[in-house]
Amino acid sequence: MMDAWEQVNAGGENGPKDAVAALIKRLAHRNANVQLYTLELANGFTQNCGAAMHREMASRAFTDALLRLAGDRNTHQAVKSGILEKMAEWTEMFKNDPGLGVMEQAFNRLKSASMYSLDIGWGRWEG
C-alpha cells in the first residue's frame, strides 16, 4: 500500500484524481473482498496523503459511488458496514475543513436513508 501512497503523492496535480477514479472503478467490482480492500486502501489514502487527496475523497463522484454501493441490494452486508464505518471516520477527519462537507452530507444521507438497514448500533455515529 505504501507504493500507492507514494504514487499519489508523487503524481502531482492528477495523482489524487487518478487514484479516486481507480477507487471508484474497484468499488464497482462485484466481489465483496475487492470492495473491502478498496475501502481499506481509500482509508490509507486519507491518512497518508495530503489535502488534495482529501478533496478528491470528499468529491461528489466518490461519495455518490459509496452511496450507490451502500444502496445496492446485492452488496454484501460486510461491505455496507465498512462503507458506514469509513464514512463516519472520514466525516470526523474532515470536519474542520468546510470545503470537505460533501462527505458529511453523504454520511448523513446514508444514516437517514430508509434504504440502509444495518443490524448495528447507531450510537457511535450520531453527532
Query: pLDDT tens digit string along 22-62?
Result: 999 999 999 999 999 999 999 999 998 888 999 999 999 99
Domains of the chain with bracketed CATH: 2-112 (1.25.40.90)
Read off the pLDDT band of 92 (50, 70, 90). Answer: very high
Residue 59 — φ and ψ, nearest 5°? Answer: -75, 160
pLDDT at 114 over 80: no
